[in-house]
């Protein structure tokens, strides 16, 4: 979805605005040195998840959707492993 701007899976069809914002946030995550840099963007609402999603972190795409991703430690810094984005999920379902 990041590369093509669309999803081939019929179950995961999103509005163009959601896809555009998703791409913008992935680009921002790529430019950010480490995940702590995401904290400076209050609108992303960066958080480490708990419970059955322990070990994952997330940022907000909009009021309805979040990007969930894994964090890794590299050279003493915590970084987001963007290539392992787990889910663009409806946060409230």
- Residue that has been written with the tokens 């840099």 in this structure: 37
55: alpha, beta or left? (left if phi > 0; alpha if psi -120 to 50) = left
Span 78-89, average pLDDT: 55
Reported confidence tier of residue 88, pLDDT bands at 50, 70, 90: low
Span 2-56, pLDDT tens digits: 655 666 666 566 778 888 888 898 899 888 877 888 889 999 999 988 888 888 8
The Cα 54–Cα 17 span in angstroms is 29
Total-model pTM: 0.71
């Amino acid at each position: 979805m990041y590369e093509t701007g669309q999803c081939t899976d019929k179950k995961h069809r999103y509005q163009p605005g959601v896809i555009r914002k998703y791409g913008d946030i992935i680009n921002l995550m790529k430019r950010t040195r480490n995940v702590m840099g995401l904290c400076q963007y209050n609108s992303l609402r960066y958080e480490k998840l708990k419970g059955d999603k322990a070990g994952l972190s997330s940022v907000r795409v909009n009021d309805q959707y979040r990007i969930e991703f894994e964090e890794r430690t590299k050279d003493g810094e915590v970084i987001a492993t963007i290539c392992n984005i787990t889910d663009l999920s409806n946060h409230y379902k």
